[in-house]
Amino acid sequence: MNGAIPVIAIDGPSASGKGTVAALVARELGFHYLDSGAIYRVAAHAAARAGVALDDEAALASLARALDLRFDGIEVYLDGQPVGDAIRTEDAGRAASRIAALPDVRAALLDLQRDFRRPPGLVTDGRDMGSVVFPDARVKVFLTASAEERAKRRYKQLIEKGFDANLAALFQDLTERDARDAARASAPLKQAADALLLDTTGLSIDQAVFFVIDAYRAAA
């Protein structure tokens, strides 16, 4: 890893707003942006396309190492084709959470994620960005919100995109995903010892963005 290139790592549970905040921070600072969750969603999508079972760890890891993945702003391309809509469904999120619990898959995707560290800097969000992928990140933030608030945010997001959604089902899915992510043996979801805690339950997006940027400037 190149410690001379600054990294801001924003980790947290699903639907906490970390992706929105990270993308806006990257735009404000002129940094590159990596949505690590999208990588796992793409891997799960590629597995479904190839007929690979989500519990076939060896085959999934082999597939993950061969991913032809590219980001262009918020759009994601697999083998040169846009897959943004396909990987943003709730089914895709559940599949990504399942394969993310597999150590060989996480190891296969580690170098791919680290390759996104390029000048002038990187803002990345996920669940183990600060603890595993970029342990030398200049700023680490653990961004969270109550499960109720996160379910409401996800519901609004899905409805705005034209997807069917049920608030109670989303709440149950989020709590189950939280438990699965926190309990996995490989890189479990947890706040790094040196990460700043940011609870966005009562905050606006702008307030969260300003918090992260202020933390980065204070550490620079």
Question: For the segment 55-74, what is each residue's pLDDT rounded down to a tens digit?
Answer: 999 999 999 999 998 877 67
Q: Which pTM value belongs to this model? A: 0.85
CA-nearest of 183, 164, 176, 197 to 18 is 197
Question: According to the model, what pLDDT value does residue 194 have?
Answer: 94
For residue 195, give Cα distances in angstroms to 19, 55, 80, 145, 210: 17, 32, 36, 16, 16
Q: Which one-letter amino acid corresponds to residue 202?
A: G
Q: According to the CATH classification, is domain 7-219 in 3.30.420.40?
A: no
pLDDT tens track for 148-168: 999 998 899 888 888 888 999
CA-nearest of 106, 138, 107 to 123 is 138
Look at residue 195 and tell me whether its pLDDT is greater than 80: yes
Q: Which one-letter amino acid corresponds to residue 73?
A: G
β strands within 13-53, DSSP E: 32-35
Question: According to the model, what pLDDT value does residue 196 have?
Answer: 97
Domain ranges in the chain are 7-219
Give the N- to C-terminal CA distance of the chain in Å, as an integer.
Answer: 18
Backbone angles phi, psi at 46, to 5 degrees: -65, -35
